[in-house]
Amino acid sequence: MSGTRGIDPRGFAPRLVAWQREHGRHDLPWQRSRDPYRVWVSEIMLQQTRVDTVLRYYEPFLRRFPDVRALAAAELDEVLAQWSGLGYYRRARNLHACARQVCERHGGEFPRSREGLEALAGIGRSTAAAIAAFCFGRREAILDANVQRVLARAFALPRPRDAASLRAMWELAESLLPETGLDAYTQGLMDLGATLCRPTRPDCLLCPFAADCPRHLDETPAAPALPVARPARRTLRWVLLWARSEQADGARVWLQRRDAQGIWPGLWCLPGHDDEQQALQQARRLGEVLEHRGREPLRHVLTHMDLLLRPLEVRLRAHDGVADGDQAGRWFSLEQALALGLPAPVRRLLAAEPTG
């Protein structure tokens, strides 16, 4: 870092604090409380998810699980149902596991130190530091992906690519911490990375560091990037078996819980098959097929691939011998199904059906 022209580290925090207080975000719902439960939920939701998306889920989640004890007492399926559509479902499972750890190990109170928070399920160092700083006034540095980008640009550093470079950036982050105004400083780093210092098309003219940021002034241009061979984005095609059975107490839909690994881990889902014949074979094991028809295909975009989903609606008369638990699945009423943790496209498909 020495010898690099650009921002004076001694003035970084005061300038950021002043900018945040005047131009930063102040109306996000999780900023209205120092309750570690509310802050923790927001931090986990915000991982790899845009703020505008989280805003649609945050308050409904808290209405359903108003405190850590309510979350710990809930069944995992209830948590996954509230999380449905936010993606990265491992976060929801870790959230549930963490709530139970807080109740079982700490009597329902979150640890006040970064180290204690970091020992809980799903809480990494930066998330633990944010909770400790915002809720308990601890002087801790955050270093999520956004903050790494801000510091790399502001101080003309490469993004960390190994343990040594990451350790060096943590040291820089800790050295920049102010003695006062820690809340505004920490929030300012988050705001700057999310709203101005974006990965692409950063809004440098509005940045408080525009006058001397090496990235903006191009005083330390990056070496030409070597071409990187990116794998072609692939499309996975599934036929979704939408098996429906009219029973004495109403219509039922057959769902199976997906494996703990892979796409939609642990969620209940319409069974996925490579082709229509495979789907019909399973349908015949569930009951006497009365009729079937293909529905309009659905495209669902994941981080690393696209899913092309073709629902095959099959109306059948269920075999008496197919009980709950057979073939790793169960019959559910529509109301029961919509209360489960479902992948977003499956939820939309089922929710569009009349309940009567």
How confident is the model over 101-144, as pLDDT tens digits? 999 999 999 999 999 999 999 999 999 999 999 999 999 999 99
Q: Are residues 207 and 103 both part of a single domain?
A: yes
How confident is the model over 44-89, as pLDDT tens digits? 999 989 999 999 999 999 999 999 999 999 999 999 999 988 988 9
In this structure, which amino acid lies at residue 71?
L
Looking at residue 305, its pLDDT comes to: 83
Number of domains in the chain: 2
Torsion 63-68-73-79 (CA) sign: positive
Catalytic (active site) residue 109 = no
Residue 52 placed within a domain: yes
Q: Which residues lie below 8 Å from residue 194, measured CB to CB, with a gap of 6+?
A: 51, 146
Q: Which of 191, 217, 243 is the last residue of a domain?
A: 217
Who wins on pLDDT, 285 or 249? 285
Among candidate residues 123, 115, 126, 137, the one with its CA nearest the CA of residue 184: 137
Residue 327 has pLDDT above 60, yes or no: no
Phi, psi (5° rounding) for residue 313?
-85, 120
**What percent of the chain stands above pLDDT 90?**
71
Looking at residue 221, its pLDDT comes to: 43
Residue 325 has pLDDT above 60, yes or no: no
Tell me the average pLDDT across 134-159.
94
Q: Which of 192, 217, 242 is the last residue of a domain?
A: 217
Quick check: 244 and 316 in contact, CB under 8 A?
A: yes
Q: Are residues 250 and 187 both part of a single domain?
A: no
Residue 25 placed within a domain: yes
**What percent of the chain stands above pLDDT 70?**
90
Q: Are residues 309 and 201 both part of a single domain?
A: no
Q: Are residues 250 and 176 both part of a single domain?
A: no
Alpha carbon of 170 to those of 147, 164, 194, 331: distances in Å? 10, 10, 20, 51
Among candidate residues 215, 216, 209, the one with its CA nearest the CA of residue 188: 209
Residue 322 has pLDDT above 80, yes or no: no
Which value, in Å, is the radius of gyration of the alpha carbons in the chain? 25
Among candidate residues 133, 154, 188, the one with its CA nearest the CA of residue 22: 188
Domain of residue 329 covers 234-351
Structure token pair of residue 118: 């970091």
Find the catalytic residue in 22, 43, 75, 288.
43
Q: Is 65 helix (H, G, I), strand (E, B) or coil?
A: coil
Residue 195 placed within a domain: yes
